[in-house]
Amino acid sequence: MAFELLDPRIQQVLRDKDIHEPTGPQREAIPIILQGDHLLLVAHTGIGKTEAAMLPIFHRLLDTAGKGIKCIYITPLRALNRDMLKRLTEFGEALDLDVAVRHGDTSQAERQRQSKSPPDVLITTPETVQVLFTGKRLREHLSRVKWVVIDEIHELASNERGAQLSVAMERLVEVAGEFQRIGLSATVGSVEEVAGYLGGEGRKVRTVRAQVSKDLDVTVQAPPVTDADRDLAGRLQSDPHLVSGMRRCKTLIERHRSTLMFVNTRDTAEAMAARYHIWDESIRIGVHHGSLSKEIRIETEEDFKAERLKGLICTSSLELGIDIGSVDFAIQYNSPRQVSRLIQRMGRAGHSVGERSEGAIVASNADEIAESMVIARMASDGELERLRVRERPMTVLANQLVAMGMSGQTEKELAYQVIKRSYPFRNLGRDEFHGVLEQLVSIGLLFDNDATFRRTSRGMRYFYDNISMIPDERTYLIRDIATRRVVGTLDESFVLSFAEPYAAFITHGKTWRIVEVREDELLVEQIRDIGSIPSWTGEDIPVPFEVAQEVGRLRRERKYGEYAGDADAVEELDRYLKEQDRDGAVPSDKLVTLEMGKRMAVLNMCFGTKVNETVSKVLSVLLSARLGESVGAHTDPYRIVIELPRDINPQIIIDTLGTMRSEGVESLVRLVLKTSSHLRYRFVFVAKKFGVIDKDADHRQVNFTRLAEAFEGTPLFEEAVRRSLWEDFDVEGTMAAMKRLESGETTLKVMGLTSIGRAGLQHSRDLIMPQRADHSILMALKKRLESEVMSMSCLNCQAQWRLKPQDAPDRLVCPRCGGQMIAALLPYNKQDIGLLKKEKPTEEEAKEIRRMYKNASLVREHGRRAMLTLAGRGIGPDTADRVLSSFYDDEDEFLRDILSAELTYARTKRFWD
């Protein structure tokens, strides 16, 4: 038995922990690690992967004398570091071995202690590994490393953080000599690729792969909408279908002891948490995501462990193996988009050896139902997405060349050989290497001394500013003005576009009103209302080509019995498809349909997120060139919606699509990229990582055209193009899709607008508001508006009094002077009436008047039309929706504002004139 191979002291610790038998993966992995072989261990959550790796290492450490760091345990998250420290310290204390953690939050005193007295096992992150090479004493401690363990390796292998770590491991070989490498992962669809990443060039890595899908018991549920849901939708300002899903989730949470409820984005998590708390103030459901403060996250985790919370709405922040106590059920709200995410998330339920994972996917519409059923089927059969390691990311090469130069004079040939040993750079050419090196010299980050190079003083600043390869987005702290506590963070893009005093937004499942906007933080106060939902960057999860194709096959074959959908889900999906049958034909894995509407077209293509995005970008540019006018497009995994300048013959779209030959896809995409917003964003990121743009520079202030012209033809510009092709498009998948169309394997049919096409216009994957306000929502808004307390102000004598609209007489007059020019102001704007006391305002007052006039005239112009629509007269609902969504996220806020827009306009116009 595997445990019998371990030191008796370790066996005793296991007995003390009531662990007597190894799990299957432990039984296989422990002997391999004791033999000294490199190993990739793939097993589901809660099977004891950490112990499988660390027990044999502890065994060897007991026989390894001397001072220095002997084992580095790397995780992608600081929160995982905290958990690992707790788990491994228990073993370390019993075995008289020192275990410590080091990352960005580690205190200076602890760092100094580690420098003087290094631990036997150091738990850290990929970014902190970079810093370990810089200090002379730390490098000396690294020289004794014999083991490196990378936990959750799948989270790193496919991105630039992983490429940076891969090079760091080869640099570590130069300091410590060869060491044993162990990778741990719960979900890997390409074992050979990840094993290659772990080992680098020339090293054999053995693999142990347990049953990835565990014992998954997952059903797809789609609760029907009830009258109670419709009533509640008005109160919560949401769509009845979304509310019915919330009701089902609430029921499932109440039936179980501890439930994790996963959503795909932070804004959805906040929207749901806020609405749950408005629905029921006493509900024991919390929210957890990466933009909440560390203090709030830890507090929430502890509340959940102690069962003070029954449910926790979370994103991928709890997807990995963070210890949040015993979970007996997991919910995924709407499709998780990818098989690996479902396995990882459902694996959090029954997070112990031998326990079955129970969970449900609650879907809100037919597209979500079909996608969820397919992903659940693939998860049960262990069919995971292919994980690909990106080759030769030049931002990482630039970063690591400067990092190498931090240690003094570095030989160019040695640097090239070290970097080339890492798996992502195994095909790095000398010309590419020297091209990047020369660019760094020209920028001023490195000194070139013929056969060697070293960093400059600017290079040192660059290194510490760019230790992390995670894209930079400036963030603002959210500080509660009452407690001075930091609640979380907001991205700069949201703050600049939304934040102003008295604006309301949601975070931590509560609504906050902005009191003051400061240079790097927002002071806020909590209110009981529904505010706007913040947006955060980098959240969309792409649906893979394979998943979208099987959704198409499910539509075509309708073999519902092969999938884990409940009766309601199957009935809803079947109704949706039968309605499409009546409309004409169902788009599937074998059929693409082109639907023509008024100045628009919908291409129904089951090709997945990135392929559809690639096709849409190229097609819209080609159509625009052909028509001589602008063409817009937006996509989802199953359709491309094309916004046309005028009605056109569908044959024009078919012919244009036909010019996208499979062999010419990459050249077309590269051509399109030059005018794409994708390239602008990626170029700024790459320029920052090359040191051309300062880390804190606002990309909107960068003259992209001039900068791109200056660097066109350089490694920097080529890397921006290659990165955009990798991150935003799928050239390989698009080539495969075009080949199917060319060969006739996939056919194309033209038809009028159908239910599936309209679904692309109507479905919103958010939880914020329905596409159109129905009667229940309007009535709820009307009721709230009527009870809103307004500050009434006489424009003649400046008298002020409070009044609710529901109590207002038919004809308003001033009680003091009898005047009829009455302004209706919100309480926090009542002081604005003071501006009318002066005939000539000060410069500051004039500036405020201009702002008020501009806002009021804008609202006045569009508000008149929107109010007519909401009153049941005038323009059509589609135009009204566009008017509303163009200016406001919150319809309640919109309606309140237009109540006083006319009077605000009137009282400021004379100063403006």
Lowest mean pLDDT among 374-383, 464-473, 592-601: 464-473
Q: What are phi and psi of 179, to 5 degrees?
A: -135, 165
Helix (H) or strand (E) holding 122: strand 121-124
Lowest mean pLDDT among 530-544, 796-810, 839-853: 839-853
pLDDT tier for residue 556 given thresholds of 50, 70 and 90: very high
| Structural tokens at position 147 | 């083991």
Alpha-carbon gap, residue 412 to 817, rounded angstroms: 87
Alpha-carbon gap, residue 497 to 525, rounded angstroms: 20
pLDDT tier for residue 898 given thresholds of 50, 70 and 90: very low
pLDDT tier for residue 500 given thresholds of 50, 70 and 90: low
| 159 vs 895, higher pLDDT | 159
In the DSSP assignment, the letter for residue 386 is P
| Structure confidence at residue 462 (pLDDT) | 87
| Structural tokens at position 486 | 């930091």
Convert the pLDDT of each residue in 181-207 to its tens digit: 999 987 777 889 999 999 999 899 999
| DSSP assignment of 464-508 | HHTS--SPP--EEEEEETTT--EEEEEEHHHHHHH--TT-EEEET
Q: Return the percentage of the chain with pLDDT > 90, whole number.
A: 23
pLDDT tier for residue 909 given thresholds of 50, 70 and 90: very low
- Report, as an integer, the average pLDDT of 233-249: 83
pLDDT beyond 70 at 385? yes
Pairing of strands 486-491, 475-480: antiparallel
- Is the whole-model pTM more than 0.85? no
Specify the amino acid at residue 148.
Answer: V
Nearest to residue 236, comparing CAs of 220, 247, 223, 251? 247
pLDDT tier for residue 382 given thresholds of 50, 70 and 90: confident
Lowest mean pLDDT among 154-163, 283-292, 434-443: 283-292
pLDDT tier for residue 846 given thresholds of 50, 70 and 90: low
Convert the pLDDT of each residue in 857-878 to its tens digit: 554 454 444 444 333 333 344 4
| DSSP assignment of 651-668 | HHHHHHHHT--GGGHHHH
Contact 85, 54 (CB under 8 A): no
Mean of the per-residue pLDDT values of the chain: 80
Nearest to residue 265, comparing CAs of 535, 548, 477? 535
Helix (H) or strand (E) holding 330: strand 329-333
pLDDT beyond 90 at 383? no
Nearest to residue 294, comparing CAs of 516, 128, 50, 82? 82
* 489 contact partners, CB below 8 Å, separation of at least 6: 291, 293, 475, 476, 477, 478
Classified as helix, coil or strand, 852 is helix
pLDDT beyond 50 at 906? no
pLDDT beyond 70 at 231? yes
Alpha-carbon gap, residue 818 to 764, rounded angstroms: 50
In the DSSP assignment, the letter for residue 519 is S
pLDDT beyond 60 at 836? no
Lowest mean pLDDT among 398-407, 551-560, 828-837: 828-837
| Structure confidence at residue 651 (pLDDT) | 92
Nearest to residue 692, comparing CAs of 401, 473, 466? 466
Angle between helices 609-627 and 545-557 (to 10 degrees): 90
Alpha-carbon gap, residue 666 to 672, rounded angstroms: 10
Q: What are phi and psi of 172, to 5 degrees?
A: -65, -35
Classified as helix, coil or strand, 604 is strand
Nearest to residue 291, comparing CAs of 143, 439, 489, 150? 489
| Structure confidence at residue 605 (pLDDT) | 94
| Structure confidence at residue 872 (pLDDT) | 37
Alpha-carbon gap, residue 396 to 184, rounded angstroms: 23
Alpha-carbon gap, residue 134 to 332, rounded angstroms: 43
Specify the amino acid at residue 202.
Answer: G
For Cα atoms 698, 701, 707, give the angle at the middle one, nearest 5 degrees: 105
Lowest mean pLDDT among 9-18, 453-462, 821-830: 821-830
| Structure confidence at residue 495 (pLDDT) | 67
CA distances from 883 to 238, 646, 865, 876 (A): 19, 21, 8, 11
| Structure confidence at residue 217 (pLDDT) | 81
Convert the pLDDT of each residue in 742-778 to its tens digit: 899 999 999 988 888 888 776 433 333 333 444 555 6
What is the per-residue burial (b if ≥16 Cβ within 10 Å, else e) of 256-266? bebbbbbbbbb
| Structure confidence at residue 889 (pLDDT) | 44
- Report, as an integer, the average pLDDT of 416-443: 93
- Please list the helix, strand and coil fractions of the chain in percent, rounded to the nearest 5, in that order: 50, 15, 35
- Report, as an integer, the average pLDDT of 354-362: 77
Specify the amino acid at residue 540.
Answer: D
Classified as helix, coil or strand, 408 is coil
pLDDT tier for residue 823 given thresholds of 50, 70 and 90: confident
| Structure confidence at residue 907 (pLDDT) | 43
- Report, as an integer, the average pLDDT of 42-69: 84
* 783 contact partners, CB below 8 Å, separation of at least 6: none
- Report, as an integer, the average pLDDT of 308-312: 87
Q: Return the percentage of the chain with pLDDT > 70, whole number.
A: 80
pLDDT beyond 50 at 426? yes
Pairing of strands 216-221, 311-314: unpaired
In the DSSP assignment, the letter for residue 292 is B
Nearest to residue 777, comparing CAs of 322, 248, 235, 319? 235
Alpha-carbon gap, residue 195 to 182, rounded angstroms: 10
Angle between helices 877-887 and 891-912 (to 10 degrees): 70
pLDDT beyond 70 at 607? yes
| Structure confidence at residue 895 (pLDDT) | 47
Contact 672, 734 (CB under 8 A): no
| Structural tokens at position 764 | 């919103």
Nearest to residue 722, comparing CAs of 384, 284, 397, 364? 397
- Report, as an integer, the average pLDDT of 341-345: 85
Nearest to residue 447, comparing CAs of 436, 435, 459? 459
Convert the pLDDT of each residue in 668-704 to its tens digit: 888 888 766 677 778 878 888 888 887 766 555 667 6
| Structure confidence at residue 467 (pLDDT) | 83
Angle between helices 394-405 and 412-421 (to 10 degrees): 130
For the chain, the C-alpha Rg in angstroms (whole number) is 30
If you search the block for the tokens 């082109």, which residue do you land on?
594
Task: Strand 486-491: give its sheet, edge to edge.
Answer: 486-491, 475-480, 521-527, 510-517, 504-507
Classified as helix, coil or strand, 890 is coil
* 77 contact partners, CB below 8 Å, separation of at least 6: 125, 152, 320, 322
Beta-bridge partner residues of 514: 524
